């Protein structure tokens, strides 16, 4: 059943379901095109609900039979599901339905990927498996019987029976349907075990396709570290006898936290030195942790409704960020987080798709798995902790876990735990969840009689549906550095609550330099009058690594903006500052590599737009290329020393090794502009790890070289789908502005291209939209190509189509010609017959 007119769902309309569920028994008789799902569900009236309508969600299900208390019934078909008349007392609902996993290309519900069965139920996919109240506030205990001839049959919870062609699983923890999972296939496990702090032994498995078993060890270590970390840091212990992870090739997102049976996009779990880059290793470690941490923040305590998505996602992202910081370097990790936040969340907050961390309405919830919900959601947790302190934060978390275990709750419930342990009123703070847009924080300074006053004003620009904005609670972490470079006031958190507020530091001898928004203490845009000399001073003396990096970045941005707008020459202040940092052997190589990087073209486009200048993508590209050449020449003497390939046989995927390689490869990409690619060519031939092999290839491609290496890479890796994704991406990402669409189009005809695999589709078309000058080339070729691709993908996979339409979200930044071309493409997408609800909602919002 397909819905006719998409409906908007509102947070304010929430009502509890009229029935609770005492138990769910499911039987699956697997068949590629005719799987039978038999359900037996014990319902009872919910005394807390006033609406007694018995409505079960159901989509694309063929009903074979249904019964209530053993008597056959014919339910009424209604929009999005079925209705039936039920007794005003406990009753048993039974139904048998038929579904077709093989033709399920949307990858939601039960589907097939390379011959294996897999499920994806979050957010509303369970309704494609059987009739059910598919909403997170209905929690139930599941028993699942799987009948199929696959050697491995998995579901949630603990195994209770394993026989020939059958397996039975029982999950003792009540859970919402979105956490249901089933996997069946010819899989091999990488086994291990973990003993919890109370001495319980847990069986751990990573299940993969034959041939991938050598890519599981790193993920397994990450899992064990995560389990230990959650015990040590949050006092949270694992609660089943077994924890399974499965790698699936066709998956819309990164991974999914199904209870006891996490399902991963294979790109987010499979790792090996030869096939994965350092960035892959870091990401895999973080995602394994993220999904594992959901066991408490999401599963044991879940969301009352999908508007509360950030309750589990923001918190779990925050937890995985802290974990990664503990495993690697907090300084480097924080800078990377800020880069991602600005690139994705600030971009979202600045355009037509801006929405609050807790949205108030949606048409398709899949469209709200956004940088705002996830990354800004995590920033809110970080701010809360900064404001109340570490101890109160931990106490509040403990109370939240105690109080709400087994429940489906709201942001109000979460905040109430912290109000209780601190005695604070968090009403104003709560606005971070409801008010969209990135606050602009303006600062000026006054110096008088040994007192430094910092004057702040905050404003948040209007966003769709929210014209008026209130002042937010902004924790501003500040430190003061004396003229000799010593810190005279260590980090202090100023708590701004008004639209305008001043803070004074008294009793200072000489005028210090203020280091403001240390560690990026709030997700705001700081606007501060500061000259190059002060920036260079902070770059050299600040004790806060985020601030030092930030000063370098501001110098780089100003230089580039001046080159773009005034054809200025690269600023010597920038060139000297960056030389000082990258050649400073006392500093962490990973940090130096970050300082080496130039701001992205997209970031520069937004900065120009904010300054009232229409960005010209080609000019931005040219300026950035020109600066790359200048930096290369300016540092030509230092580059050969900075380029230090890993000794063959010594690769380790840890922070230390990865930091050294990122500095070395950053140097290599500059070196390639000077030496005709000699160093990169030899590294490409010798590297014993993917980080350096791909890094060398990338350096060659970005210097306009590397044609034969590209061929060699393909010949070597044609059978490795994850490495081939890199091969596709690199070519599109490094294509010159006038060639990008052509390159992407040609690759879409490559025999290994398919739009049925989200990783492959993103490898080409995600890369195209990320190639700023290429995507926005004046010809409009890339706009048209992407629109063509989205139109043909929509009927196969609406979720990915909708997500990728976000490539157009910045369209209002550009000139009238480009806006006109984009509008034409967006309108063409919207006019597609039977366009999905997902894409319709996204494209309409972008256009509005
Ligand atoms: N809940 C998953 C996560 O954050 C993301 C996800 C959403 C995966 C929807 C699949 C579908 O880890
Ligand atoms: Zn998550």
Q: What is the pLDDT of residues 178-235, one digit of tens each?
A: 999 999 999 999 999 999 999 999 999 999 999 999 999 999 999 999 999 999 999 9
Question: How far, in Å, CA of 8 to CA of 15, rounded?
Answer: 15
Whose Cα sits closest to atom 8 in ligand 1?
256
pLDDT at 540: 93
Burial of 79 (0-12, 13-18, 19+ CB in 10 A): exposed
Q: How confident is the model at residue 4 (pLDDT cuts 50, 70, 90)?
A: low
pTM score above 0.90: yes
Beta strands in 200-327 (DSSP E): 201-208, 242-248, 255-256, 261-265, 302-303
Q: How confident is the model at residue 66 (pLDDT cuts 50, 70, 90)?
A: very high
At residue 560, the 3 state secondary structure works out as: helix
Residues in the chain, overall count: 848
pLDDT at 2: 43
Does the CB atom of residue 108 touch ligand 1 within 6 A?
no
Q: Which atom from ligand 1 is nearest to the alpha carbon of 294?
A: 12
Question: How far, in Å, CA of 152 to CA of 189, rounded?
Answer: 10
At residue 44, the 3 state secondary structure works out as: strand
Average pLDDT of the residues in 321-325? 98
The tokens for 523 are: 């997700």
Q: For residue 727, is it left (φ>0), alpha (ψ between -120 and 50) or beta?
A: alpha
pLDDT exceeds 80 at position 6: no
Does the CB atom of residue 248 touch ligand 1 within 6 A?
no
Tell me if 493 sits within 8 A of 476, measured CB to CB.
yes
Average pLDDT of the residues in 465-484? 98
Does the CB atom of residue 309 touch ligand 1 within 6 A?
no
**Which residues are within 8 A (CB) of 164 and not within 5 positions of it... i.e. 6 or more apart?**
none
Whose Cα sits closest to atom 12 in ligand 1?
256
The tokens for 479 are: 């430190």
Instruction: State residue 475 phi and psi, 5-degree precision.
Output: -80, 120
Tell me which of 246, 253, 759 to substitute to probe ligand 1's pocket, judged by most ligand atoms within 8 Å of the beta carbon.
253
pLDDT exceeds 90 at position 760: yes
Give the active site residue among 108, 147, 291, 550.
291
List residues bridging with 206 in a β-sheet: 190, 245
Ligand 2 mean position, distance from CA 130 (Å)? 24
For residue 647, what is the DSSP state?
P
Question: How far, in Å, CA of 478 to CA of 68, rounded?
Answer: 65
**Which residues are within 8 A (CB) of 786 and not within 5 positions of it... i.e. 6 or more apart?**
765, 768, 769, 775, 804, 807, 825
Which ligand is in closest contact with the Cα of 257? 1
At residue 189, the 3 state secondary structure works out as: strand
pLDDT exceeds 60 at position 1: no
Instruction: State residue 157 phi and psi, 5-degree precision.
Output: 85, -145
pLDDT by residue (tens digit) across 387-425?
999 999 999 999 999 999 999 999 999 999 999 999 999
pLDDT by residue (tens digit) across 811-828?
999 999 999 999 999 999
pLDDT exceeds 80 at position 726: yes
Give, for 228, the enclosing helix (H) or strand (E). Answer: helix 217-234
pLDDT exceeds 60 at position 433: yes
pLDDT at 5: 65
pLDDT exceeds 90 at position 176: yes
Which ligand is in closest contact with the Cα of 181? 1
Ligand 1 mean position, distance from CA 407 (Å)? 20
Q: Which residue has the tokens 């969600």?
A: 57
Q: Which atom from ligand 1 is nearest to the alpha carbon of 287?
A: 12
Which ligand is in closest contact with the Cα of 179? 1
Q: Which atom from ligand 1 is nearest to the alpha carbon of 125?
A: 11
Question: How far, in Å, CA of 167 to CA of 158, rounded?
Answer: 11
Average pLDDT of the residues in 86-97? 98
Q: Alpha helix locations (H) across 341-470?
A: 347-349, 371, 377-388, 390-404, 411-422, 431-434
pLDDT exceeds 90 at position 602: yes
**What is the residue-averaged pLDDT of the chain?**
98
pLDDT by residue (tens digit) across 761-819?
999 999 999 999 999 999 999 999 999 999 999 999 999 999 999 999 999 999 999 99
Whose Cα sits closest to atom 11 in ligand 1?
122
pLDDT at 244: 99
Ligand 1 mean position, distance from CA 799 (Å)? 12
In the chain, what percentage of residues exceed pLDDT 70? 99
Question: How far, in Å, CA of 756 to CA of 309, rounded?
Answer: 27
pLDDT by residue (tens digit) across 353-366?
999 999 999 999 99
Does the CB atom of residue 55 touch ligand 1 within 6 A?
no
Q: Is 98 a catalytic residue?
A: no
Ligand 2 mean position, distance from CA 373 (Å)? 10
pLDDT by residue (tens digit) across 157-170?
999 999 999 999 99
Does the CB atom of residue 257 touch ligand 1 within 6 A?
yes
Whose Cα sits closest to atom 2 in ligand 1?
256
Ligand 2 mean position, distance from CA 313 (Å)? 5
Does the CB atom of residue 290 touch ligand 1 within 6 A?
yes
Tell me if 587 sits within 8 A of 637, measured CB to CB.
no
Question: How far, in Å, CA of 4 to CA of 12, rounded?
Answer: 23
Q: Which atom from ligand 1 is nearest to the alpha carbon of 108?
A: 11
Ligand 1 mean position, distance from CA 255 (Å)? 6
pLDDT at 518: 98
Handedness of CA 284, 289, 292, 295 (dihedral sign): negative
Neighbours of ion ligand 2 (CB under 5 A): 313, 316
pLDDT at 409: 99
Tell me if 96 sits within 8 A of 64, measured CB to CB.
yes
In the chain, what percentage of residues exceed pLDDT 90? 99
Does the CB atom of residue 310 touch ligand 1 within 6 A?
no
**Which residues are within 8 A (CB) of 667 and not within 5 positions of it... i.e. 6 or more apart?**
582, 596, 638, 639, 642, 643
Does the CB atom of residue 319 touch ligand 1 within 6 A?
no
**Which residues are within 8 A (CB) of 507 and not within 5 positions of it... i.e. 6 or more apart?**
450, 451
Ligand 1 mean position, distance from CA 258 (Å)? 9
Q: Alpha helix locations (H) across 674-815?
A: 678-686, 690-702, 707-717, 721-734, 740-747, 758-761, 767-770, 772-775, 781-794, 798-804
Q: Which atom from ligand 1 is nearest to the alpha carbon of 313?
A: 4
- Residues 282-302 as b/e (b if ≥16 CB within 10 A, e otherwise) read bbbbbbbbbbbbbbbbbbbbb
Which ligand is in closest contact with the Cα of 254? 1
Ligand 2 mean position, distance from CA 585 (Å)? 38
Nearest residue to 669 (alpha-carbon basis) of 719, 707, 632: 632
Question: How far, in Å, CA of 86 to CA of 77, rounded?
Answer: 15
List residues bridging with 159 in a β-sheet: 169
| DSSP assignment of 733-750 | HHS-TTTHHHHHHHHTTS
Tell me if 290 sits within 8 A of 669, measured CB to CB.
no
Question: How far, in Å, CA of 201 to CA of 230, rounded?
Answer: 16
- β 525-528/440-448 pair status: parallel
pLDDT at 585: 97
- β 302-303/408-409 pair status: parallel
Q: Which residue has the tokens 């302190």?
A: 389
């Amino acid at each position: 059943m397909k819905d006719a007119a998409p409906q908007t769902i509102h947070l304010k309309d929430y009502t509890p379901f009229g029935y609770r569920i005492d138990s769910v028994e499911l039987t699956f008789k697997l068949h590629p095109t005719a799987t039978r799902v038999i359900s037996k569900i014990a319902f009872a009236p919910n005394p807390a609900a006033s609406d007694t309508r018995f409505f079960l969600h159901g989509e694309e299900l063929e009903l074979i039979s249904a019964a209530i208390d053993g008597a056959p019934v014919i339910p009424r078909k209604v929009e999005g599901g079925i209705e039936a008349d039920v007794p005003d007392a406990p009753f048993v609902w039974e139904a048998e339905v038929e579904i077709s996993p093989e033709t399920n290309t949307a990858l939601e519900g039960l589907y097939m990927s390379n011959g294996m069965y897999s499920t994806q139920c979050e957010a509303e996919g369970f309704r494609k498996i059987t009739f059910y109240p598919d909403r997170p506030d209905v929690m139930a205990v599941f028993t699942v019987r799987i009948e199929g001839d696959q050697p491995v049959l998995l579901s949630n919870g603990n195994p209770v029976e394993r026989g020939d062609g059958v397996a039975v699983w029982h999950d003792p923890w009540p859970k919402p349907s979105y956490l249901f999972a089933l996997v069946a296939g010819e899989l091999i496990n990488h086994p291990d075990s973990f003993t919890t702090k109370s001495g319980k032994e847990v069986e751990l498995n990573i299940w993969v396709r034959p041939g991938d078993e050598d890519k599981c060890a790193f993920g397994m270590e990450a899992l064990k570290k995560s389990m230990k970390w959650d015990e040590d840091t949050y006092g949270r212990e694992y609660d089943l006898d077994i924890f399974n992870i499965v790698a699936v090739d066709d998956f819309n997102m990164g991974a999914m936290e199904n209870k006891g049976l996490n399902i991963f996009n294979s790109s987010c779990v499979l790792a090996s030195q030869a096939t994965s880059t350092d960035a892959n290793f870091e990401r895999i470690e973080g995602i394994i942790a993220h999904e594992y941490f959901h066991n408490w923040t999401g599963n044991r305590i879940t969301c009352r409704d999908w508007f509360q998505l950030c309750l589990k996602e923001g918190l779990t992202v925050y937890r995985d960020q802290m974990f990664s910081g503990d495993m690697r370097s907090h300084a480097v990790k924080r800078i990377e987080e800020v880069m991602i936040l600005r690139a994705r969340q600030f971009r979202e907050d600045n355009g037509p798709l801006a929405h609050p961390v807790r949205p108030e309405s949606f048409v398709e919830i899949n469209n709200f798995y956004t940088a705002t919900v996830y990354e800004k959601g995590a920033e809110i947790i970080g701010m809360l902790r900064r404001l109340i302190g570490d101890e109160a934060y931990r106490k509040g978390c403990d109370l939240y876990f105690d109080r709400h275990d087994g429940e489906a709750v709201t942001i109000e419930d979460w905040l109430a735990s912290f109000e209780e342990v601190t005695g604070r009123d968090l009403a104003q703070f709560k606005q971070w969840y409801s008010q969209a847009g990135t606050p602009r924080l303006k600062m000026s300074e006054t110096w008088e009689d040994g007192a430094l006053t910092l004057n702040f004003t905050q404003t948040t620009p209007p966003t769709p549906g929210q014209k008026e904005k209130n002042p937010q609670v902004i924790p501003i972490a500040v430190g003061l550095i004396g003229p000799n470079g010593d810190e005279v006031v260590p980090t202090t958190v100023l708590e701004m609550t008004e639209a305008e507020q001043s803070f004074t530091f008294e009793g200072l001898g000489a005028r210090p330099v203020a280091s403001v928004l240390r560690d990026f203490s709030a997700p705001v845009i700081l606007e501060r009058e500061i000259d190059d000399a002060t920036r260079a001073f902070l770059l050299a003396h600040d004790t806060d690594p985020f601030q030092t990096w930030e000063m370098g970045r501001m110098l780089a941005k100003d230089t580039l903006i001046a080159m773009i707008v005034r054809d200025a020459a690269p600023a010597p202040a920038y060139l000297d500052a960056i030389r000082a940092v990258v050649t400073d052997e006392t500093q962490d190589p990973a940090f130096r590599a970050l300082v080496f990087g130039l701001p992205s073209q997209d970031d520069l486009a937004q900065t120009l737009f904010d300054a009232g200048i229409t960005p010209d993508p080609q000019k931005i590209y040219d300026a950035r290329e020109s600066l790359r050449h200048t930096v290369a020449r300016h540092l030509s003497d230092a580059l050969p020393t900075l380029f230090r390939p890993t000794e063959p046989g010594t690769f380790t995927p840890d922070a230390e090794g990865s930091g050294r390689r990122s500095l070395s490869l950053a140097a290599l990409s500059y070196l390639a502009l000077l030496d005709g690619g000699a160093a990169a060519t030899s590294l490409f031939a010798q590297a014993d790890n993917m980080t350096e092999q791909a890094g060398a290839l990338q350096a060659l491609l970005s210097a306009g070289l590397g044609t034969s290496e590209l061929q060699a890479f393909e010949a070597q890796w044609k059978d490795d789908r994850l490495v081939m994704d890199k091969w596709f991406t690199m070519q599109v990402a490094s294509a010159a502005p006038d060639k990008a669409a052509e390159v992407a189009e040609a690759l879409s005809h490559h025999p290994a291209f398919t739009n049925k695999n989200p990783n492959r589709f993103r490898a080409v078309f995600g890369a195209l939209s990320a190639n700023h000058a290429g995507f926005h080339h004046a010809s409009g070729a890339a706009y048209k190509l992407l629109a063509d691709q989205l139109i043909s993908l929509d009927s196969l996979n609406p979720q990915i189509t909708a997500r990728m339409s976000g490539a157009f979200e910045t369209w209002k930044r550009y000139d009238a010609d480009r806006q006109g071309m984009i509008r034409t493409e967006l309108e063409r997408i919207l006019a597609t017959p039977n366009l999905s609800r997902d894409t319709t909602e996204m494209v309409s919002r972008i256009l509005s």
